[in-house]
């Protein structure tokens, strides 16, 4: 594979979306071909699954095991339809979340057996692994305040992604309905995952100014280009 695969991780409200957009701009300006993706989603099938996971009016009874499988069904599609071909073509792939989210949310957060979670993830991704993962960290209290401030959320998505996703509207998000203890476990999970793979995962203090975070990210990414 000739391309570069960069993933962003962090809890809700950690500033990922802002930073990923700024990094895309900078990479495009430097002449790279960039794929900007999000998980769950990033393909028409994946966006349908995202809708089921987050916004469907029928998703209230979803079990953690179902959540795990749906996250990875979307991922399996994204890897084969977009990520692998893009990397083979030498492009830079930016992904807002990837399998570390599954370990943190379904493993640590929902309490599913980490070995099972890893097995399902391995099946979904095959041989695709991020070259670098930027983990934006913010205290749970800040993340919670930002999360609550944007519920319900006003979203705008490209019309082509999924016929079922509203173009503009107020929507509830099942994932954001979890309690504080869940998000504390997710954050602890991220710390544990980052501690176990310091070579790939680069924690960045998300409470710093946007500019400072942008520069730290660029320092990490530019040495890989």
State the residues that interact with ligand TMP by CB under 6 A. Answer: 38-40, 71, 97, 101-102, 105-106, 175
C-alpha–C-alpha distance, residues 122 and 115, integer Å: 10
Which of 38/51 has CB closer to ligand TMP? Answer: 38
DSSP H or E run through 203: strand 201-205
- Is residue 22 exposed (0-12), middle (13-18) or buried (19+ Cβ within 10 Å)? middle
Give residue 218's Cα distance to chain centre: 19
Separation in Å, CA 140 to CA 67, 91, 98, 104, 146: 23, 34, 20, 14, 10
Least CB distance to ligand TMP at residue 97 (A) = 4
The candidate with the shortest Cα–Cα distance to 37, out of 91, 106, 118, is 91
C-alpha–C-alpha distance, residues 225 and 221, integer Å: 7
Least CB distance to ligand TMP at residue 100 (A) = 8
Least CB distance to ligand TMP at residue 175 (A) = 3
Least CB distance to ligand TMP at residue 40 (A) = 5
Which of 32/178 has CB closer to ligand TMP? Answer: 178
Which of 171/175 has CB closer to ligand TMP? Answer: 175
DSSP H or E run through 176: none
Per the DSSP assignment, residues forming a β-bridge with 93 are 5, 35
Nearest residue to ligand TMP, scored by beta-carbon proximity: 105
Which of 40/203 has CB closer to ligand TMP? Answer: 40
Least CB distance to ligand TMP at residue 85 (A) = 20
Which of 105/190 has CB closer to ligand TMP? Answer: 105
Least CB distance to ligand TMP at residue 39 (A) = 4
Which of 38/161 has CB closer to ligand TMP? Answer: 38
Helix (H, G, I), strand (E, B) or coil at 146: helix
């Amino acid at each position: 594979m000739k391309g570069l695969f960069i993933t962003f991780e962090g809890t809700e409200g950690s500033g990922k979306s802002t930073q990923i957009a700024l990094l895309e701009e900078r990479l495009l300006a430097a002449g790279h071909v960039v794929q900007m993706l999000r998980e769950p989603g990033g393909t028409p099938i994946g966006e349908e699954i995202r809708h089921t996971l987050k916004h469907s009016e029928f998703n209230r009874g979803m079990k953690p095991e179902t959540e795990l499988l749906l996250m990875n069904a979307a991922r399996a599609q994204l890897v084969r339809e977009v990520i692998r071909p893009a990397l083979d073509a030498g492009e830079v792939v930016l992904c807002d979340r990837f399998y570390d989210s599954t370990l943190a949310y379904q493993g640590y957060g929902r309490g599913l057996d980490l070995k099972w979670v890893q097995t399902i993830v391995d099946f979904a991704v095959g041989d695709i692994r991020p070259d670098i993962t930027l983990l934006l960290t913010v205290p749970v209290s800040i993340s919670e305040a930002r999360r609550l401030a944007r519920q319900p959320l006003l979203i705008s998505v490209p019309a082509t992604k999924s016929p079922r996703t509203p173009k503009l509207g107020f929507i509830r998000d099942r994932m954001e309905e979890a309690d504080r203890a869940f998000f504390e476990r997710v954050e602890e999970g991220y710390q544990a995952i980052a501690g176990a793979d310091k070579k790939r995962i680069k924690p960045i203090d998300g409470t710093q100014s946007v500019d400072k975070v942008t520069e730290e990210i660029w320092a990490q990414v530019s040495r890989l280009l």
